[in-house]
Amino acid sequence: MPDYHAPLRDMRFVMNEVLNVEQAFTDLGYEDCGSDTIDAVLDEAAKFCENVLSPLNQSGDREGCQWREDGVTTPTGFRDAYQQFIDNGWASISGPTEYGGMGLPNTLALAVSEMASTANWSWSMYPGLSKGCSNTIFAHGTQQQKDTYLPKLVSGEWTGTMCLTEPHCGSDLGMLRTKAEPRRDGTFAITGTKIFISAGEHDMTDNIVHIVLARLPDAPKGTKGISLFIVPKFLPNDQGEAGERNTVSCGSIEHKMGIKASATCVMNFDGATGFLIGPENRGLNCMFTFMNMARLGTAMQGLTSTELSYQGALKYAKERLQMRSLSGPKNASGPADPIIVHPDVRRMLLTQKAFGEGGRMLFYWLGLMEDQMLKAGNEADRKALDDLMGFMTPIAKAFMTETSIETTNLGMQIYGGHGYVAEWGMEQVVRDARIGTIYEGTTGIQAIDLLGRKVLASRGDLLRRFTKIVEAFCKDNADNPAVAPYIASLSKLLHKWGEVTMELGMKSMQNPEEAGAASVDYLMYSGYVVFGFMWARMALVADNAIKNGSDEGFYKAKLHTARFYFERILPRTEAHLRSMRSGAGNLMDLDTELFA
């Protein structure tokens, strides 16, 4: 397994030089989050992730989780690492101060999460969903529910889950059957089975708070008849501690391709005591608070798996000697040259670098957007930012996980035959990353959400909100020779984006299948353009640094990677454009019976 080293130089470049988070935090009222605080948090988190979490990554994969009737045991070292995590306050970094949190910006918390997730994705999934659980209770719970659950969730003493799908319904939550029967005391008896529940059962905390979708008696059919419930593993007692055991249990854990150290559970609710959160029959609306955060967390998995694979591949490419450079020996005193001199190895490394650093820029930009939304001074500004994040979320989730499959496979390829061998750890990164395009809504579901629900349903308004930001950047920097070629490319792609959106809207009015047929290509096209915008912004900052006298090679590498992205990666948009415009017929005209 590659030894993880936190990419602090690039993290600080994005946060401090491109996004100027220190000023942004000050503007948002985070007076105690200056440069000293930011640096201290990043430095200490890096030490914890490099020295505690990273060494458990490969061993955790080999050992996996163990299921017994009385619970699930996590791999050796996981529980101790989690105790250090909460003792050092990492769980509460962005939690609300009124419930014991530090109240620091989400952007900073995301940077910590990136490091933990890259060091050990399986481990990070145990605390990872607790933030979404906390946010859901904070946004939709009663004051009593907040007072009962948030202090323990914010501190990390308890973890949280989201329990959505069931064996028969997959992503079609309108089909779920879990029942919620009212009781005289105001609670509900929750009965049903939920599957694919990450961290649904484990031995790292003394309570787990499940957020569960279920149906009330006589509820409307479909998604309009779903309510949301808090169902703790142990019912809190009067002192706020874990008390009586609830009738919720883990029936089994899945045997998976990857993330084997993360317990993916079948959860059985046998008349378990649940507490309604939010209005009746509006549970799915409330659950989107949780789901959208989980989708951004999955986008982060795309970033982190790319980063870890790149770190391993880069080290190997600099050390592995194979053949001679086509232009003459570069290691004349050795038997062969390091493979990093070969064009195809550089193609693979630069592809990883372009997607990894572009993904970090996008992810932190969205994190800052969330902070701005939460601190917005009026409802109109808050809604505008929320709408923009809603538009960006399916792009980030699907594009970053799809490209991570490419990048992690490239990392394994760079190792040649050794990449296929478990001891090097590169194949584990591939296995762990593969789930990203599936859970929290597959790529196809994210794509139809983007094109159908976000773009066409808004008559292009949500798309225009983003493209106006890019257009303003292009206008402001059109005369700058350092980014002028990138501006020209972006401007053309924005124009084509608008054109094909109108075309698909017209076609879909005649044949609804057209949107579904074009949706994945539309999403991938969108992702490449979004990353182009991210790279143009970073190139501008890097060029200014060089003009201001910096001779740091970091900036030269940033400019070169931007050039690589625009010249080698961004042209992929043309293929997606042609596929979108080819129509639904080449997918739908073949009778089902002829698939054989």
pLDDT digits (tens, 9 = 90+) for 6-36: 999 999 999 999 999 999 999 999 988 999 9
Residue 284 has pLDDT above 90, yes or no: no
In 3-state terms the chain splits into helix, strand, coil percentages (rounded to 5) of 60, 10, 25
Supply 207's token pair.
């309570």
Percent of the chain whose predicted confidence (pLDDT) is above 70 = 100
Residue 106 has pLDDT above 90, yes or no: yes
> Who's near 525: CB < 8 A, 6+ residues apart?
497, 500, 573, 576, 577, 580
pTM of the model: 0.97
Read off the pLDDT band of 528 (50, 70, 90).
very high
Instruction: Identify any residues that bridge with 231 across adjacent strands, giving them in sequence order.
Output: 210
Contact between residue 561 and residue 595 where contact means Cβ atoms under 8 Å apart: no
Mean pLDDT in residue range 346-350: 98
pLDDT digits (tens, 9 = 90+) for 130-165: 998 999 999 999 999 999 999 999 999 999 999 999
Tell me the C-alpha distance between 392 and 550, whole Å.
34
Percent of the chain whose predicted confidence (pLDDT) is above 90 = 94
Tell me the C-alpha distance between 243 and 390, whole Å.
39
Contact between residue 150 and residue 134 where contact means Cβ atoms under 8 Å apart: yes
Q: Point out the least confidently predicted range of 50-59, 172-181, 567-576, 586-595.
A: 172-181
Distances (CA, A) of 557 to 325, 538, 594: 21, 11, 52
Nearest CA among 103, 104, 128 for reference residue 117:
128
Residue 435 has pLDDT above 80, yes or no: yes
| pLDDT on residue 293 | 78
| Residue 332 one-letter amino acid | A
| pLDDT on residue 183 | 98
Of 119 and 70, which is predicted with more confidence? 119
Q: Would residue 254 show up in a list of annotated catalytic residues for this protein? A: no
| Count of beta carbons in the 10 Å neighbourhood of residue 181 | 15
Mean pLDDT in residue range 334-339: 96
Distances (CA, A) of 420 to 63, 119, 258, 423, 591: 19, 21, 15, 9, 40
Pairing outcome for strands 179-182 and 66-68: unpaired
Mean pLDDT in residue range 57-72: 96
Which helix (DSSP H) or strand (DSSP E) does residue 276 occupy? Answer: strand 264-276
| pLDDT on residue 290 | 74
The catalytic position among 357, 402, 427, 440 is 440
Q: Is 118 helix (H, G, I), strand (E, B) or coil?
A: helix
Contact between residue 251 and residue 167 where contact means Cβ atoms under 8 Å apart: no
pLDDT digits (tens, 9 = 90+) for 477-520: 999 999 999 999 999 999 999 999 999 999 999 999 999 999 99
Pairing outcome for strands 242-245 and 234-236: antiparallel
Tell me the C-alpha distance between 174 and 155, whole Å.
34
Read off the pLDDT band of 336 (50, 70, 90).
very high
Read off the pLDDT band of 294 (50, 70, 90).
confident
| pLDDT on residue 170 | 81
Read off the pLDDT band of 285 (50, 70, 90).
confident
| Count of beta carbons in the 10 Å neighbourhood of residue 314 | 17
Residue 291 has pLDDT above 80, yes or no: no
Read off the pLDDT band of 171 (50, 70, 90).
confident
* HEC per residue, 209-259: EEEEEEECCCCCCHHHHCEEEEEECEEECCCCCEEEECCEEEEEECCCCCC
Give the CA angle between residues 350, 347, 362 to the nearest 5°: 30
Mean pLDDT in residue range 260-275: 98
Average pLDDT over the chain, rounded to whole? 96
